[in-house]
């Protein structure tokens, strides 16, 4: 999850910085000006530095995300694209290479998003907790349905038939885990 956030910050931030940096990205400058990012023109040097930091962040995020989803295509694109951008900054300035790197970051972000949507472990499913449990008294065998507390475990329970005080068995957190038909809410959520 955190890896996806790093990758998204790097990719989205790189595009926003590119839109606000007209000297480096002439074609994107018109789009940036239309979006109102032209006001950042006087900060162009700082934005160019920020852009490079965000490109490195995207590179790191793409590598980290690879270890989660094992998507080799996204890894290759997600590593090659920032390297193209950085080589354009430090080795030779070629606008086509710069734009190809930005396009590659977009493709890597899309590939990672697609991999995440296909990943079963990344899908967040709502956890439903059973709130009712039938407690069976070990002394008299009497059974009664009770509503379990969700905020804390219930350590004691008094049987309504024989009036004996029940305590959890050793290793159990509450009376519902020891004598109930359903484990307590905290056990239910921790087992998933």
What digits encode the pLDDT tens for the residues 143-175? 999 999 988 889 999 999 999 999 999 999 999
Answer yes or no: pTM beyond 0.75: no
Give CA separation, 150 vs 45, 168, 176, in Å: 55, 17, 12
Q: Which residues of the chain have pLDDT under 50?
A: 1, 20, 22-23
Report the C-alpha gap between 60 and 165 in whole angstroms. 58
What digits encode the pLDDT tens for the residues 20-43? 454 455 555 555 555 565 666 666
Q: Structure tokens of 187?
A: 């056990």
């Amino acid at each position: 999850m955190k890896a996806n956030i790093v990758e998204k910050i790097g990719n989205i931030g790189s595009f926003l910085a590119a839109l606000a940096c007209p000297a480096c990205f002439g074609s994107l400058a018109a789009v940036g000006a239309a979006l109102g990012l032209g006001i950042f023109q006087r900060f162009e040097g700082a934005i160019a530095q920020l852009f490079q930091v965000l490109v490195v962040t995207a590179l790191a995020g793409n590598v980290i995300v690879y270890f989660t989803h094992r998507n080799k295509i996204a890894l290759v694109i997600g590593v090659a694209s920032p390297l193209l951008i950085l080589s354009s900054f430090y080795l030779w300035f070629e606008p086509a290479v710069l734009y190809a790197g930005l396009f590659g970051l977009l493709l890597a972000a899309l590939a990672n998003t697609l991999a995440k949507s296909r990943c079963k472990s990344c899908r967040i499913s709502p956890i439903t907790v059973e709130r009712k449990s039938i407690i069976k008294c070990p002394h008299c065998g009497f059974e009664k349905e009770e509503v379990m507390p969700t905020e804390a475990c219930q350590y004691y329970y008094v049987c309504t038939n024989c009036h004996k005080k029940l305590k959890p068995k050793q290793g159990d957190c509450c009376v519902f885990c020891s004598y109930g038909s359903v484990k307590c809410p905290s056990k239910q959520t921790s087992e998933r």
